[in-house]
Amino acid sequence: MKLKIALLQLLPGVSLEEQLNIGKAACIKAKDMGADIALFPEMWSDGYYLPQEEGAVDNLAISEDSEFIISFCSLAKELQMAIGITFLEKSESKPLNSMILFDKSGTLKLHYSKVHTCAFADEKVLSSGEDFYVTDLDTGRGTVMIGSMICFDREFPESARILMLKGAEVILAPNACPMEINRLAALRTRAYENKVAIATCNYPKGQPDCNGHSTLFDGVAWLRNEPGVRDMCTLEAPEEEGIYLAEIDMDMLRDYRKHEVMGEKYRHPDKYRIIANDGTSCRSS
């Protein structure tokens, strides 16, 4: 089974209506390209715009049952294609940085809010999500276990590790930042150490503090019957705006996960208690 993910590396418009129109047109094109999933960059509903004046960001936040979100639900059903739509989500406290994944029938399969918000920068006006989730996504040609993490989540090994332990085979990672060598290396490492594929969609050059380079790391570092190692990065988009189609060989990934030693094999969770502490130093002499 080949899973095809369209990375919608798009420049945003200037209004929610324009975001909707640009996004719908991109999803239609992604379907024409043969995509099973269309993935948007981070916080597509407002182009990752976070005003810092008190209360201003609340005016941009939308609910999960807003016309904007429902439109992508209907479009997923119309196109028979899964859509990962990202948005600034209204909440009882501060807004959330969220992604909803609709399957090809328009059913809501995953609703994730960014856990590791950048509270040291513009995202201090946001609340953090509570957990990481995995869902079974029916593509029409097979079922794939899908999870999500958003941008800064990748810098914490726990994000991808929890998703892997919950059964994720593929992680969708909306993004809004410069994808340079170190951030790309973090994604490669998360894919390698967990035997998961990670599809990242970024904004292109022209969006402030972004530079494209959306990627797919397929999680397969080597093949049993072939010498040497392989490059897990099977797609790295250029800086320019575009829709980039990434493909994952799910049969190859699943065979690799059965036989290789990373991921959940040989872990010693009883020795990792320090990871879950509240930041208090636990050094021993």
Q: What is the pLDDT of residue 176?
A: 98
Say what the pTM is: 0.96
The residue ranking higher by pLDDT, 278 or 78, is: 78
Residue 63: pLDDT above 90? yes
pLDDT tens-digit profile of 147-168? 999 999 999 999 999 999 999 9
Q: By C-alpha distance, which of 243, 240, 237 is closest to 216? A: 237
Q: What is the pLDDT of residue 281?
A: 52
* CATH hierarchy code of domain 2-263: 3.60.110.10
Average pLDDT value for residue range 65-81: 98
Q: By C-alpha distance, which of 126, 161, 163 is closest to 146? A: 163
Average pLDDT over the chain, rounded to an integer: 95
Q: What is the pLDDT of residue 284?
A: 46
> Distance between CA atoms of 149 and 264, rounded to whole angstroms?
19
Buried b (16+ CB within 10 A) or exposed e, 168-185: bbbbbbbbbbebeeebbe
> Distance between CA atoms of 207 and 201, rounded to whole angstroms?
13
Average pLDDT value for residue range 202-212: 98
